Structure 1
Amino acid sequence: MRTLMLATSAVAALALATAVGPGHAAPAAAADRPRVGIVCTEGSGGVPGSPVFDLTTRTGYISLPDGNTAFMWGYSNGFDGFQHPGPVLCVQEDDQVTVILHNTLPDRSSIVFPGQDQVLANGLPTTPEVDGSGRATSLAPTAAAANGTITYSFTASHPGTFLYESGTDPDKQVHMGLFGALIVRPALGADHVYDRPDSAFDTADEFMVMLSEIDPYQHQAVEQGKSFNMNTYHPRYWLINGRGFPDSIADNDASWLPTQPYGALASVYPADPGGGTPPAVARYLNVGTEDFPFHPHGNNGLVIGRDGVPLAGPSGQDLSFEKFDVNIGPGQTWDVLFRWYDAEGYSPQNPVPVTVPSMANQVIGVFYSGSPYLGTKQTLPAGTPTLNQCGEYYIISHNHALFQITSWGATMTGPITYMRINPPQPNQCG
């Protein structure tokens, strides 16, 4: 059967994912923000073609799947409260981008923009800061501690998916949460990843998979103003879009996660097997220290670019390739197109050619519709809970380094999400 039946015990944890970090207001959620998919932050100032972003460093707390919280640093949009990860900055190719960093932390800080050329800091070419002995102390000019400000600018000349992150003491500041995603949309249009016709995607199906990690002892030391020996660094939590499962499948701006605004659920419709339906796109980013072999079940992904560079030969030939495990290295970004086909077209009129076990012999998860057929619901045994709305499928996607889908030993948490397959429209989902 193609319907994934998740064990009830794993998803029942949704009811427990209500812990909120103390003392920090969440950024206000705009009414038009999508419930699933990428939430773009547009420039709040400037003129068309010259967006301006204000990013403020903040401290705050996030909720973790085992009931703990973690003290974090982060970039907020404008002068909003703390959020994790930082805002997804969306710009157009050839935009003249300005990012003003307002640093409220007790340490000086900076931002670097990997993949962007000729970045300026306060109008001068960005160069590392060095101490009196010539040792580099920051990869970029810094904003002073306790309310320092610095302005970065660059031309977004390369479309694709990029990270932005602190360039100052990265072992501390990036691990503490000073990072976010930068999406540069190509001149060909917002429905393309690159300036190539074969990079087109459905703009309603654009998703982010940002993978990160936490060593709680480092975060505790920073919160208490103590030093931390990086030789003892050992992550115990791994996150997707700043959340662990099951919180990862909740909507964007879920009310019980006021400082973790980004969900990771992918929600798509079956594609036209003839190829007439544009694919979805997943933008993968790795902010951790190890490879993340992310493993979306149910379909292969077509890798079309890495680190903002389309996979093309010197004459423009297509060098994209299919991948079942997407192995994102530290600091890398991958752009991956994907579709889900109803290949067999099974239905009550075209039943699966096997005997479906009786309900007594099934493990019934809370997303199961009672039927193996897309768009069909059947009566479940009395007392069986279900969150299935209209016979949709749920197919798991997770980090395939299985020791990383834990939260300090709590298994089946961490960087796990689902692809939800909706029945063809019109349907009962609304």
Structure 2
Amino acid sequence: MDDKLITRREFLMALGGLTLIGIGSYPFIRPFLPGVAAPLVLSQIPTVSWNGSVKTFVFNIARGNVSLGDSRQFNGYLINDQFPGPTIRVREGDKVRITVNNHLDQPTTLHWHGVNVPSPMDGVPGVSQDPIEPGQSFTYEFIAGPSGTRWYHSHVFEMDQIPNGLFGALIIDPANGREPYPATREVTLMFSTWGYQSNPGLDYGMQTSGGMGQMMMGSGSMMSSSQGLIYLINGAVPSSLQPMTVQPGEKLRLRLINASASESYWLTLDTGNFLITHTDGNPLDNPVPVSDLYIAPAERYDIVVTPPKSGKWFLRSKINGQESVQMPFSTNGSVNAVPSSAPSWSYSNFSGGMGSLPRAAQHFQLTLGGGMMMGSNWTINGASYPNTTPLRVKKGDRVRIEMQNMSMMEHPMHLHGHSFEITSFNGRALSRPLVKDVVNLRPRERCTIDFLANNSGNWFFHCHNLQHMRSGLATVLEYVDYPLPYVDKWM
């Protein structure tokens, strides 16, 4: 889709005649999962109740000058004169009120990524709310939850507004104030990219380096097609950042947020390992030691790092072309260097073998395709949004979505309004399902995600490579008991 106002008129008006994409044959993983007869039970973070506290914020959104920490400057989007936007920090159970005053010459909204807000507060024009027009204001109100590393960003003209400044961190502390994995201190690192060109003649993002042949064989590595982009950490070029001083033995919690419109990062330390404690803000049962971490757009990981050596060291990306992505640290004291010995992070680390999945009340099968040699549009089951078939569910259902990526590029798929569990990956059930709101699928990869339909509304489900989303890789999850507003609005 182009960045222009379009309607969902035929799409929503025809809903009454549309049917579910049933999966009686369960083709992706059924051969690997015999005896699918487990009870209909899904562990789920409970709905957060209001604790009586109200936290109020005012966001003034306007254009303004941005310096990237070197000689480069540009006219960006600022929230309260900040690039990126200010960090919001609240406690789980707080009622959050954020009044957005739009001083731009174009509409905007804000989406509270990873927070299970009411549907009218979700920030997707044409799906859940009207856009905030120039000169207008809108107040978002929701109960903060679940706790963890969340973030917010625009959901209008996303390839322009987000990279140029309309995003920020949203940290929700646990209701009891006790973190499951305490650290000495913490730092939030937001990775983003700047310099996207309109009609660039290439598809920004990560693709298989071996072409179609290696993709079909399931081999080949990933490479970026995003030449010319400037990589930023917390809104500045990494070369301008001063080293963060840490003490020997100190446990440093890093909240990693990939706010890039298209780019993944493959992060590692110069030496040694680190612990992954949270995925998309949700705590793991036990921390996982890894030597490196692949983080796709919109994913978040909390990691705990102890100084791996004396002197200066870096958290850096291993992807060719991302040599500038390096966060500097400095150890204030002597540390014996420890070589890396842990495995790489992967969803497959949690594969439990030939297990079985519980029954689900609703099954949907989604094939992701298009793009590249298939044309400029990206598709779900052969259709591009807004012509994709909506996923219609009932409140209280356990819902299963199976996805397979048949394209040459990766797709980080994000579901609004719900936390889900990755229950199988590449045909193997996970012994410890991962609670997330983004699942990244590289070429030829497939997965299942399960979630409890416990938040009635209209919810966007889309690729968080924003160029792919704008080119059709999206659909809508709709509750049958929820009224369908915005019959003739735009996305």
The change in CA–CA distance for 1:48 and 1:201 in structure 2 (over 3 A counts) is farther
SS state at 2:111 partner = coil
SS state at 2:85 partner = coil
Aligned pair 1:142/2:144, yes or no?
no
Partner deviation per Cα, 1:177-224 (whole Å, 9 max, x = no partner): 2000000111232x62xxx3xx1112xx211221110126x4xxxxxx
Letter in 1 for 2:77: W
Distance (Å, rounded) in 1 between the aligned partners of 2:68 and 2:88: 25
Map of 2:125 onto structure 1: 129
Aligned pair 1:206/2:186, yes or no?
yes
Distance (Å, rounded) in 2 between the aligned partners of 1:53 and 1:120: 20
Aligned pair 1:84/2:83, yes or no?
yes
Alignment equivalent of 1:156, drawn from 144, 149, 158: 144
Letter in 1 for 2:231: W
Map of 1:287 onto structure 2: 259
Structure 1 residue 126 displacement after superposition: 4.4
Structure 1 residue 71 displacement after superposition: 2.2
Partner deviation per Cα, 1:337-387 (whole Å, 9 max, x = no partner): 121267xxxxxxxxxxxxxxxxxxxxxxxxxxxxxxx6xxxxxxxxxxxxx
Map of 1:8 onto structure 2: none
Consecutive unaligned residues of structure 2, counting only runs of 5 or more, are 1-50, 205-225, 335-491
Letter in 2 for 1:72: G
Structure 1 residue 246 displacement after superposition: 2.3
Distance (Å, rounded) in 2 between the aligned partners of 1:340 and 1:106: 47
Map of 1:55 onto structure 2: 59
Map of 1:100 onto structure 2: 99
Give the 5 Å matches for 1:243-282: 243-249=236-242, 265-271=243-249, 279-282=251-254
Map of 2:316 onto structure 1: 398
Distance (Å, rounded) in 1 between the aligned partners of 2:164 and 2:308: 40
Distance (Å, rounded) in 2 between the aligned partners of 1:245 and 1:290: 16
Structure 1 residue 65 displacement after superposition: 5.9
Consecutive unaligned residues of structure 1, counting only runs of 5 or more, are 1-46, 77-81, 131-135, 219-227, 250-264, 272-276, 313-317, 343-373, 375-392, 406-413, 425-430
TM-score (norm 2): 0.49
Distance (Å, rounded) in 2 between the aligned partners of 1:140 and 1:247: 39
The change in CA–CA distance for 1:327 and 1:127 in structure 2 (over 3 A counts) is closer
The change in CA–CA distance for 1:56 and 1:127 in structure 2 (over 3 A counts) is closer
Alignment equivalent of 1:327, drawn from 280, 294, 301: 294
2:63–2:76 CA contact under 8 A, matched in 1: yes
1:65–1:244 CA contact under 8 A, matched in 2: yes
Map of 2:47 onto structure 1: none
Distance (Å, rounded) in 1 between the aligned partners of 2:193 and 2:166: 12
Give the 5 Å matches for 1:207-246: 207-215=187-195, 218=197, 228-229=198-199, 234=226, 235-246=228-239
1:163–1:333 CA contact under 8 A, matched in 2: no
Letter in 1 for 2:245: S
SS state at 2:241 partner = helix
Alignment equivalent of 1:420, drawn from 330, 337, 352: 330
Percent of aligned pairs with the same amino acid = 24
Distance (Å, rounded) in 2 between the aligned partners of 1:88 and 1:418: 22
Structure 1 residue 296 displacement after superposition: 2.5
Q: CA RMSD in A?
A: 2.5
The change in CA–CA distance for 1:99 and 1:269 in structure 2 (over 3 A counts) is same
Aligned pair 1:117/2:110, yes or no?
no
2:316–2:325 CA contact under 8 A, matched in 1: yes
Report the structure, 1 or 2, having the larger strand content.
Answer: 2
1:241–1:248 CA contact under 8 A, matched in 2: no
